[in-house]
Each structure stands twice: as structure tokens, then as C-alpha cells.
Structure 1
Amino acid sequence: MPQLEVDGAALTYDDEGPRDGDGVPLVFIHGWTANRHRWDHQLAHFSPKRRVIRLDLRGHGESSGAGVRTIEELARDVLALLDHLKVERFVLVGHSMGGMISQTIALSHPERVERMALVNSISRMTYSRGRGLLMGASTLVPFKLFVATNIQRAFAPGYPREEIREYVRASADTPREVVMTLYGAMRAFDVLDRVGEIRTPTLLVHGYHDIQLPVSQMLRMAKAYPDAVVRIVDAGHELPVEKPAELTSALDWFVTGRA
């Protein structure tokens, strides 16, 4: 796989599909402790006719590097890759933390973002007092248990246990420093008061059973977006792997300009 050196990190990425395909490139950004393979279904669907770019974020998957502290730093990595590939304008698709990165890019470089799809993502992390205490306490348990607990909660009831265990193992391979610092970065992320500035057509796709980032928080965000379409899917937080075909269908409808 090709890699790009950016500020001490080697970013692994895929760049597939025709350069003169239908529309501007699609850029897929995965979430916390995940990797670019969350988007396998979408890559297979879109790349025959359209350029598709996806990457492993710094410290995730096959990318090296640590020391990142903020969502803004991850956004700079994504933009560095796109600049390297000479991609000036694009469609962003971000899952969870990837959606936070997408919003950051849309706010800082609105002229470059043609459309944006946020999958199981929000603009502000909001906890009830009880959930806040629970999440705070979870950081005090052993690291592998902390990761396992968060990943298991991400799937809707009834999702195959063995598949969940595979995702837990993959997430636990993410370096502890990366996991914990970006957990803090997500908790600190807050652009809710600024999303009204985003004039880019936006699709908000969310799992009904998402307890990591509840659908109520997404709907609060949706009210602030001036040009947003909302889709609710019978899934949990890991929509790209729980219901890949449904997500691909929604994205196909949206990114081809039929929204």
C-alpha cells in the first residue's frame, strides 16, 4: 500500500478508481480505533466509476505515528494527503470521529468540500451526569477492558459476537497513547455553534440503536445545519459494517447529486 510521510507519521492510504470518473473524488475517513477497511463495501461499489481515497489515520491500522492531540491535527493529516494527491475538491464521508474530522475540514476549507456525509457522528459530545460519570470511570479500568467495553457497546443488539470480538482485537492493536489522547479529543470536540456556517450539502446517516453517540444528539446537530438530509438506519454505532449495503445505497443517492 502507498504511504505518505507527514510530520513524523507514515500514512497508509488507498487511491483507486478512474481519475476522469463520475464527479469529484470521494474521501472516506474512519473513526476512533478503526481503520480504512471499515469502507470496504463502499470502495468496491464506487471505485469502478469514481476515484475513491481512504486512509488509515495516524496511529491507526497500517499507519504509524502518535503524538496527535486534537481533531484539528488529524484534519491537517487528511488535507496533507489530498494536497499530495493533487485533489483540490472532494466529497467527504466520515464515520464517528471521522465525521468530526470532516466537519473541521468543511469549516476551515469550505471551498474544497463539494458534499459531506456524516455517519454516526455529532458536532458536540454531550453526556448526562450519570453517563459522564460512567465514561470517566471507564478510563480507570485496564486498557484492553476499556477498549473492549467501548467497542462492544458500539454494535446493535444481536450482532454476531464473534465478529464483534474481531473488531475488539483490531481496536486493541491501536497504540494506547493514540486511543486515550483521541478519546479525550473527541470529548473536547465542539463545533455545534459553528455548523450553521457550513453551506455544503450534508447527509446525516445514523444508527437508531447508537448508544455511543445517541441519535438525539445527531438530531440536535441536524437542526443547526442549513442544508442537511437525515437518514436513520436500524443499526448501532458501527453502521459501515453493520449495514454496509444500506449505507452505500444512501451514499450513492446523495453523492451522485440526486439529493
Structure 2
Amino acid sequence: MPQFAVDGAELTYDDEGPRDAGSAPLVFIHGWTADRHRWDHQMAHFAAHRRVIRLDLRGHGESSGSGARTIEVLARDVIALLDHLGVDRFVPVGHSMGGMTAQLLALAHPARVERLVLVNSIGRMTYSRSRGLLMAASTRVPFRLFVAANIQRAFAPGHPRQEIKEYIRASAATPREVVMTLYSAMRAFDVLHRVREIRVPTLMVHGYHDIQLPAHQMLRMAKDYQDAEIRILDAGHELPVEKPAELTAALDRFLARTPATPESPSRRPR
């Protein structure tokens, strides 16, 4: 796989599909403790007719490096890779922490982001005092137990147990420093007061059973977007692997639609 060196990290990425398709490349950004293969279904589908790029974020999957103490660092890595590949306009598709990264890209580079797709993602993590204390306490348990508990609860009830075990194993292989630092970075992430600045058409796809980042937090954010289309699917937090075909279909429909005008924004839950 090709790699790109940036600020002490070696980022592994895939760059597939026709370069002359006449549409902005899709850039898939995975979530916390995951890797670029979360997007296998979407890559296989879209690479047949447009350019698609995905990467392992620093410290994840086949990418090396640490030092990502904020989500901004991840966003800078993504834009550095796109500059290296000669990509100007693009469509970021981010899952969970990857969606946080995608929002920062839309805010920092509005002229380059053509559309935005957020999958199981929010603008700020909010929780009660008791939940906050529970989350803080969870970081004190053994590392593998901490990872297992978080990954287990990310899936909707009924997801195959063996698959969940494989995702737990892969997540636990992520360096502890990367996992814990970015866990804190997600808790500190907050662009809720700025999402009105994002004016590009935005698709928000969320799992009804998501207890990691509940759908009501996404809806709170969506009301301030200029042009937001919302889809709720029967899944948990891991939509790219729980409902891959349904997610791909939602992306297809969104990319094909004509953007709403600023005077008549689209915020239709479906």
C-alpha cells in the first residue's frame, strides 16, 4: 500500500477509481481505534465510477505515528495527504471521530469541500454528570477491558458475536497512547457553536441504536446546519459494517441530488 510521511507519521492510504470522472473525489475517514477497511463496501462500490481515497489515521491500522492530541491534528494530516495527491475539491465522508475530522475540514477549507457526509458523528459530546464520571472512571480499568467495553457497546443488539470479537481484537492492537489520547480529544471536541458556518450540502446518517453518540445529539447539531439531510438506520454506532449496503445507497442518493438553495434548506429526516 502507498504511504505518505507527514509530521512524524507514515500514513497508509488507498487511492482508487478513475481520475477523469468529472466529480470530486470521496475521502473516507474512519473512527476511533478503527482503520480504513471500515469502508470496504463503499470503496468497492464507488471506485467503479469515481475517484475514492481512504487512509489509516496516524497510529491506526497500517499507519505509524502518535502525537494526535487534538482532532485538528488528524484534519491537518488529511489535508496534507490530499495536497500530496493533488486533490483540490473533495467530499469528506467521516465516521464518528472521522466525522469530527470531516467537520473541521469543512470549517477550515470551505472552498475545497464540495459536500459533507457525517456517519454516526456529532459536533460535541454531551452527557450527564453521572455519565461523565462513569466515562472518566472507565479509563482506569485495564486497557484491553476498556477497549472491549467500548467496542462491544458500539454495535446494536444481535450483531454476530464473532465479528465483534474481531473488531475488539483489532482495536486493542492500536497503541494505548493513541487510543487514550484521542479518547480525551473526542471528549474535548466542540464545534457546535460553529456548524452554522458549514454551508455545503450535508448528509447525516445515524444508527437508531447508537448509544456511543446518541442520535438526539446529532439532531441537536443538525438544526443549525444550512442544508442537512438526515437518515436514521436500524443499527448501532458502527454503521459502515452493520448496514454497509444501506449506507452506500444513502450516499448514492445524496451525491446524485441537486443541492437545496440557502432559502429552502433540506432537513428532512427519512
Whole-angstrom CA distance in 2 between matches of 1:256 and 1:128:
39
Whole-angstrom CA distance in 2 between matches of 1:242 and 1:26:
21
Whole-angstrom CA distance in 1 between matches of 2:37 and 2:4:
18
Say whether the 8 Å CA contact 1:196–1:224 is kept in structure 2: yes
**Residues 153-204 of structure 1 deviation map (CA, whole Å, 9 limit, x = unaligned):** 0000000110000000000000000000000000000000000000011000
Gaps of 5+ in 1: none
Q: Which residue of 2 aligns with 1:78?
A: 78
Say whether the 8 Å CA contact 1:68–1:74 is kept in structure 2: yes
Say whether the 8 Å CA contact 1:125–1:190 is kept in structure 2: yes
**Residues 69-105 of structure 1 deviation map (CA, whole Å, 9 limit, x = unaligned):** 0000100000000000000000110000000000001
RMSD: 0.8
Q: Which residue of 1 aligns with 2:211?
A: 211
Q: Which residue of 2 aligns with 1:29?
A: 29
Q: Which residue of 2 aligns with 1:165?
A: 165
Whole-angstrom CA distance in 1 between matches of 2:119 and 2:258:
18
Task: State the AA in 2 paired with 1:46.
Answer: F
Task: State the AA in 2 paired with 1:157.
Answer: P
Task: State the AA in 1 paired with 2:19.
Answer: R
Sequence identity of aligned pairs in percent?
A: 78
Q: Which residue of 1 aligns with 2:110?
A: 110
Task: State the AA in 1 paired with 2:247.
Answer: L
SS at match of 1:103: helix
Q: Which residue of 2 aligns with 1:15?
A: 15
Moved more, 95-104 or 131-140: 131-140
Say whether the 8 Å CA contact 1:18–1:47 is kept in structure 2: yes
Task: State the AA in 2 paired with 1:238.
Answer: E
Q: Which residue of 2 aligns with 1:183?
A: 183
How many angstroms does 1:258 deviate by? 4.7
Task: State the AA in 1 paired with 2:18.
Answer: P
Whole-angstrom CA distance in 1 between matches of 2:22 and 2:56:
25
Say whether the 8 Å CA contact 1:210–1:237 is kept in structure 2: yes
Q: Cα 1:22–1:49, aligned 2, differ >3 Å: closer, same or farther?
A: farther
Moved more, 77-86 or 13-22: 13-22
Q: Which residue of 1 aligns with 2:99?
A: 99
Whole-angstrom CA distance in 2 between matches of 1:138 and 1:78:
30
Q: Which residue of 1 aligns with 2:90?
A: 90
Q: Which residue of 1 aligns with 2:228?
A: 228
Task: State the AA in 2 paired with 1:62.
Answer: E
Q: Which residue of 2 aligns with 1:126?
A: 126
Whole-angstrom CA distance in 1 between matches of 2:176 and 2:53:
27
SS at match of 2:213: coil
How many angstroms does 1:228 deviate by? 0.3
Whole-angstrom CA distance in 2 between matches of 1:128 and 1:208:
20
Aligned structure 1 segments of 4 or more residues deviating by more than 4 angstroms: none
Task: State the AA in 1 paired with 2:141.
Answer: V
How many angstroms does 1:68 deviate by? 1.3
Q: Which residue of 1 aligns with 2:198?
A: 198
How many angstroms does 1:130 deviate by? 1.9
How many angstroms does 1:226 deviate by? 1.3
> For this pair of structures, how many residues does the alignment match?
259
How many angstroms does 1:256 deviate by? 2.7
**Residues 120-144 of structure 1 deviation map (CA, whole Å, 9 limit, x = unaligned):** 0000010112211111110010000
Q: Which residue of 2 aligns with 1:255?
A: 255
How many angstroms does 1:255 deviate by? 1.7
Q: Which residue of 2 aligns with 1:138?
A: 138
Whole-angstrom CA distance in 2 between matches of 1:8 and 1:133:
34
How many angstroms does 1:257 deviate by? 3.3
Whole-angstrom CA distance in 1 between matches of 2:222 and 2:232:
12
Q: Cα 1:41–1:258, aligned 2, differ >3 Å: closer, same or farther?
A: farther
SS at match of 1:89: coil
TM-score by length of 1: 0.99
Gaps of 5+ in 2: 260-270
Q: Give the helix-richer structure, 1 or 2.
A: 1
TM-score by length of 2: 0.95
